């Protein structure tokens, strides 16, 4: 069966929005690779535990970015076995990244707790070496927050439909907060006298800043985890603005002899499924009119939702 002009148009539109997503992810990969290389050098020079947490987060962003670029190309493709694409891979990706982020936070927290226990309970420990940490963190903070703004800007251009760009933006935000915290501690330790009442911070400052960073950032991966889980298990999309828009548009494309009941929106990755519930008001419903209303509704919704499938449901 040959493709219709409408199908070609929708396919090209979907490719364009996925291209925006891939370009943003590729920019992030390049920036993060530079950060990982610099962060690893600084960590090897100083041995600062918080630096390990910092550049490890960035390393996760590089690896996850590569996976995200692959998924961005793959999920939109349709095959005989997956005629609707594989958009479920996108929330699965977000869940995996959130779990990995939480695992890294827990590992770093346990590591610095051990360091603090050795100092306060056993009197063992080595003074923290800051070295070039401040210079690196200035670069890292600027890079992370610029990436965060860039990801969110690109996602807004496609109406915040990309689950993966949302995950990467949150990850960059967490990374930037960590970099700012580590840099602040490095500055404090540079000006803090070793023999003063706060001299213990030269040995345990790593513990306090890591705990503070974990507390400040742990909400972000949990938020990503929650949103991705709702998408994966088929939960209703809860964005009020999007719901109001879809409901308004749906009521302008009702088939003859039907009455509007309600609309349910489901989002999986960048794909939206819109179920429009109708009740019959006449003896017959013209199938051709039903199909045309479905297609016209999809055309209008795709201006905002990009990749959307509409189903008329008679309950």
Domain with CATH 1.20.1510 in the chain: 5-233
CATH of domain 5-233: 1.20.1510
> pLDDT, tens digit, for every residue of 294-307?
999 999 998 888 78
| Structural domain 240-314, CATH architecture | 2-Layer Sandwich (3.30)
* Structure-token match 């990995």, residue found: 100
Work out the percent of the chain whose per-residue pLDDT is above 90: 36
Query: Pairing state of beta strands 271-280 and 307-314?
Result: parallel
Residues 6+ apart with CB under 8 A from 55: 35, 36, 39, 40, 42, 43
- pTM here is 0.78
Domain with CATH 3.30.70.1350 in the chain: 240-314
> pLDDT, tens digit, for every residue of 131-183?
788 899 899 999 999 999 999 999 988 878 888 898 889 888 888 887 888 88
Give how far Cα 275 sits from Cα of 147, 190, 212, 269, Å: 36, 60, 45, 17
Q: Which residue has the higher pLDDT, 2 or 121?
A: 121
* Structure-token match 């020079």, residue found: 45
Query: Does the pLDDT of residue 10 top 80, yes or no?
Result: no
What whole-number distance in Å separates Cα of residue 10 and Cα of residue 164?
21
């Amino acid at each position: 069966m040959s493709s219709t002009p409408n199908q070609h148009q929708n396919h090209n539109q979907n490719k364009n929005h996925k291209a925006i997503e891939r370009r943003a992810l590729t920019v992030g990969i390049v920036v993060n690779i530079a950060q990982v290389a610099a962060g690893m050098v600084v960590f090897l020079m100083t041995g600062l535990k918080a630096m390990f947490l910092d550049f490890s987060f960035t390393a996760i962003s590089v690896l996850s970015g590569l996976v995200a670029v692959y998924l961005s190309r793959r999920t939109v493709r349709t095959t005989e076995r997956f005629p609707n694409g594989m958009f479920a891979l996108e929330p699965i990706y977000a869940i995996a990244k959130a779990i990995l982020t939480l695992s890294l936070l827990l590992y770093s927290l346990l590591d610095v707790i051990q360091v603090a226990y050795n100092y306060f309970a056993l009197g063992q420990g080595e003074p923290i070496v800051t070295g070039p940490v401040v210079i690196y963190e200035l670069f890292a903070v600027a890079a992370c927050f610029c990436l965060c703004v860039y990801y969110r800007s690109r996602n807004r251009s496609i109406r915040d439909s990309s689950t993966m760009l949302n995950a990467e933006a949150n990850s960059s935000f967490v990374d930037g907060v960590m970099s700012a915290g580590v840099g602040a501690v490095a500055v404090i330790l540079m000006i803090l006298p070793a023999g003063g009442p706060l001299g213990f911070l030269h040995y345990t400052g790593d513990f306090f800043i890591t705990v503070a960073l974990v507390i400040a950032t742990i909400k972000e991966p949990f938020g990503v985890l929650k949103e991705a889980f709702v998408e994966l298990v088929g939960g209703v999309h809860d964005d009020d603005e999007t719901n109001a828009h879809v409901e308004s548009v749906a009521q302008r494309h009702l088939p003859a002899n039907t009455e509007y009941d309600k609309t349910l929106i489901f989002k999986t990755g960048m794909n939206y499924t819109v179920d429009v519930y109708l009740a019959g008001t006449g003896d017959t419903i013209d199938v051709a009119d039903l199909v045309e209303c479905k297609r016209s509704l999809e055309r209008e919704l795709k201006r905002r939702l990009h990749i959307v499938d509409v189903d008329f449901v008679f309950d």
